[in-house]
Amino acid sequence: MPSTREKQIYKIIMITSGIIALGVAGYLAVAMFMGAKNYFTAHFAIPIVLVCVGVIALCMPQATRSRFGSDAKDNVMKIVAVLLILFAILTLVLSYFDFFQF
């Protein structure tokens, strides 16, 4: 079971990742609404959001773990986190081959 200090560190990581994900998602929404496509929106915006959500999913079981926590739910969150990070890498690779038309 993580200590209180470790839980605080995980919560800070989760909050920072959430702020980054919301900021980049907001920027992406505005850029798509205005029709402004640039190198950042075409290649990096969606993978950054996916990685941030994956980091949140990876840290959440550690930050909210208690003595009576559910291990099955924690394992599912870790699997989801790894899949989100893998999808971020896949999205980044596929964006260079123009599979995504914005």
pLDDT per position as a tens digit, 56-93: 888 887 777 665 556 777 778 888 888 898 988 888 88
On whether residue 89 sits in a domain, the answer given is yes
On whether residue 76 sits in a domain, the answer given is yes
The pLDDT of 6-23, averaged and rounded, is 90
Q: What percent of the chain has pLDDT over 70?
A: 85
Mean pLDDT, the chain, rounded, equals: 82
On whether residue 37 sits in a domain, the answer given is yes
On whether residue 56 sits in a domain, the answer given is yes
Report pTM.
0.74
Domain interval for residue 39: 4-95
pLDDT at site 17: 92
The answer on pLDDT for 54 being more than 70 is yes
pLDDT at site 70: 64
On whether residue 53 sits in a domain, the answer given is yes
On whether residue 101 sits in a domain, the answer given is no
On whether residue 102 sits in a domain, the answer given is no
Q: How far, in Å, CA of 58 to CA of 95, rounded?
A: 25
The tally of domains found in the chain comes to 1
Q: Which of these ranges, 21-25, 46-50, 72-76, 89-93, has the smallest mean pLDDT?
A: 72-76
On whether residue 58 sits in a domain, the answer given is yes
